Amino acid sequence: MAIRVTPNLLKSFRSQLTRAWSSTPSSLPVLPLNFDDKPEPDSEPIVAKRPQTQTQQGSILDFDDTQKLFSSVSTTMLLKSSIVLNSAAIDHVVNLGIWIMRSKLIETPVLREIILGCVKRSFYEQFVAGKDLEETGLTIRKIWDDAGLRSMLNYGLEHAHDNQSCDKNFQAVLETIEYTKYLPPSSASFVIVKISAICPIGLLERLSDLLRWERQNPSFHLPWKQNTLPIFSDISPLYHTLKRPNPLTLEEEKDLELAQERLTKLCQRCSELNVPLTVDAEDTKIQPGIDYLTYKSAIEFNKLGSNVPIVYATIQTYLKDAKERLFLATKAADKMGLPMGFKLVRGAYMSSETKLAASLGFESPIHDSIQDTHNCYNDCASFMLDNIVDGSGRLAATKARDLGIGRENDRLQFAQLYGMSEALSYGLKNAGFQVSKYLTFGPVEEVIPYLLRRAEENRGMLSSSSLDRKLMG
């Protein structure tokens, strides 16, 4: 006989788990809402009360009926998610996990097998969709059949250092694109690529240095540079490049051509299969080079006069210059008659960005407070929604309704990380919007950087809302 896990049982478990790790359970961080892989931009925490909840005034999302909200999720999965998410909210657990993964313990064969086994059965299974396309395909079909959720496919590859690695990564992304042919129609919303996976990271650093120097010295000539959209605003950080960089060598120019060929082939195949390609943002040290290659490809593949782009860029709104860069790029694209799509996220490199700026004696490019990031995110989401009329959870959903944007409109889509913000995903879907889960996949060894970044960058944000954990309870 099946046994349904009750709210009291889950609450009892959470309290025991908390007491085991913390002497102050009342201060336990909790799970945030997320748009794609970043926290929701609501300016205040969302508190869900049980057994009754109050729907926020003016909101079109209903979190009251939790049985309906999680109807497509099994009791076992709810219990497991509750365990993992509560563990991820405890600093001691996260600190210990990060220390172990970065220590020499992982280099010992026996310990490595034990450690990776533990990771795989907990955080990996919660946040990663599968080890390969076959396993990930099962996940895609399940969330599509059970809940009508679409998938953004991201093979967890990044930071290649040579052309051989780039070629291997390119092939993996291309296979991901090809795999969409075998999925249920409309179940795959995007394929994701990180430019650092198909262009050597050393070359991206060189491109970014040269682009920053050109920004500071307009007479500085870059013979390899082709047509693009604005990459910088007046407040963009330029401290990474403090002296004039040397021009690209002939070998570097050849490597750049190879990187552009890889991206072009990916865009071309996405265009043929009508599957949009989203280029993820990375850290500011290499972001100018990423934006250059992304915008160059968008100009080539996003058809003039069309409302649906093939190539999408990503804006990280925790950066102080995010809003201005979004405005400038959109204005330039509009002037060209070019459809340009953007994925809005909070940002995933907070610790490293702040440390790098401090080491060079400069102010962090990250907003000074989470509220400033909320405000920037909201402004960018409102700007994008206004542009659709002539994204971002409850705020965007309500604003879309107020602006008369139909829920079936392909130009507005919502997404959250796989394994996180389930309540928001189901709430948006139940309200009739197009919703995707950002599915990272790959062998556990290859996605460790992704998992570490989720742990390191999101644990602080986990205290901003208790919605998922309370609703799951």
pLDDT digits (tens, 9 = 90+) for 39-49: 333 333 322 23
Total number of domains constituting the chain: 1
Give the number of other CB atoms < 10 A from CB of residue 469: 23
Q: What mean pLDDT is predicted for residues 455-468?
A: 50
- pLDDT reported for residue 352: 85
Q: Is pLDDT at 37 greater than 70 in this prediction?
A: no
Taking the chain, what is the end-to-end CA distance rounded to the nearest angstrom?
Answer: 21
Enclosing H/E stretch for 34: strand 34-35
Q: Is pLDDT at 310 greater than 60 in this prediction?
A: yes
- pLDDT reported for residue 403: 54
- pLDDT reported for residue 244: 96
pLDDT digits (tens, 9 = 90+) for 77-121: 667 666 776 676 677 777 787 787 777 887 788 888 888 888 777
* Span of 13-22, 84-93, 104-113, 344-353 with lowest mean pLDDT: 13-22
Tell which residue, 273, 260, 308, has the closest CA to residue 175: 273
- pLDDT reported for residue 58: 47
- pLDDT reported for residue 447: 83
- pLDDT reported for residue 466: 44
Reported confidence tier of residue 34, pLDDT bands at 50, 70, 90: very low
Tell which residue, 281, 366, 353, 283, has the closest CA to residue 319: 366
The enclosing domain of 380 has a CATH number of: 3.20.20.220
* Span of 61-70, 210-219, 313-322 with lowest mean pLDDT: 61-70
Rounded Cα distance between 335 and 79, Å, is: 51
In a domain, 320, yes or no: yes
List the alpha helices (DSSP H) in 53-161: 66-69, 75-88, 91-102, 109-119, 125-127, 133-147
Reported confidence tier of residue 24, pLDDT bands at 50, 70, 90: very low
Q: What mean pLDDT is predicted for residues 49-64?
A: 44
Q: Higher-confidence residue: 446 or 231?
A: 231
Q: Higher-confidence residue: 320 or 403?
A: 320
Rounded Cα distance between 179 and 57, Å, is: 43
Q: What mean pLDDT is predicted for residues 28-46?
A: 33
In a domain, 114, yes or no: no
pLDDT digits (tens, 9 = 90+) for 244-282: 999 999 999 999 999 999 999 999 999 999 999 999 999
Q: Is pLDDT at 283 greater than 60 in this prediction?
A: yes
Reported confidence tier of residue 305, pLDDT bands at 50, 70, 90: low
Rounded Cα distance between 200 and 249, Å, is: 14
Residues making up the chain, counted from first to last: 473
Q: What mean pLDDT is predicted for residues 16-36?
A: 32
Reported confidence tier of residue 364, pLDDT bands at 50, 70, 90: very high
Tell which residue, 126, 146, 27, has the closest CA to residue 80: 126
Percentage with pLDDT > 70 across the chain: 72
In a domain, 66, yes or no: no
In a domain, 149, yes or no: no
**Long-range CB pairs of 214-222, under 8 A, 24+ apart, other chains included:** 216/241, 217/244, 220/244
DSSP string, 239-289: TT--SPPPPPPHHHHHHHHHHHHHHHHHHHHHHHHT--EEEPP--TTTHHH
- pLDDT reported for residue 174: 98
DSSP string, 115-129: HHHHHIIIIIHHHB-
- Note down the domain range covering 241: 159-390
> What is the pairing mode between strands 38-39 and 34-35?
antiparallel
* Beta pairing partners, 39: 34
- pLDDT reported for residue 42: 37
**Highest mean pLDDT of the ranges 109-118, 152-161, 174-183:** 174-183
In a domain, 167, yes or no: yes
In a domain, 362, yes or no: yes
Rounded Cα distance between 229 and 207, Å, is: 15
Question: Which residues does 353 contact at the CB level (< 8 Å), separation at least 6?
Answer: 283, 284, 347, 364, 365, 366
- pLDDT reported for residue 197: 96
In a domain, 411, yes or no: no
Q: Is pLDDT at 363 greater than 90 in this prediction?
A: yes
- pLDDT reported for residue 112: 80
In a domain, 374, yes or no: yes
pLDDT digits (tens, 9 = 90+) for 325-334: 999 999 999 9
Q: Is pLDDT at 469 greater than 60 in this prediction?
A: no
- pLDDT reported for residue 40: 38
Q: What mean pLDDT is predicted for residues 116-144?
A: 88
Q: What mean pLDDT is predicted for residues 279-301?
A: 96
Percentage with pLDDT > 90 across the chain: 47
* Span of 9-18, 213-222, 391-400, 457-466 with lowest mean pLDDT: 9-18
Q: Is pLDDT at 20 greater than 70 in this prediction?
A: no
313 backbone dihedrals φ, ψ, rounded to 5° = -100, 175
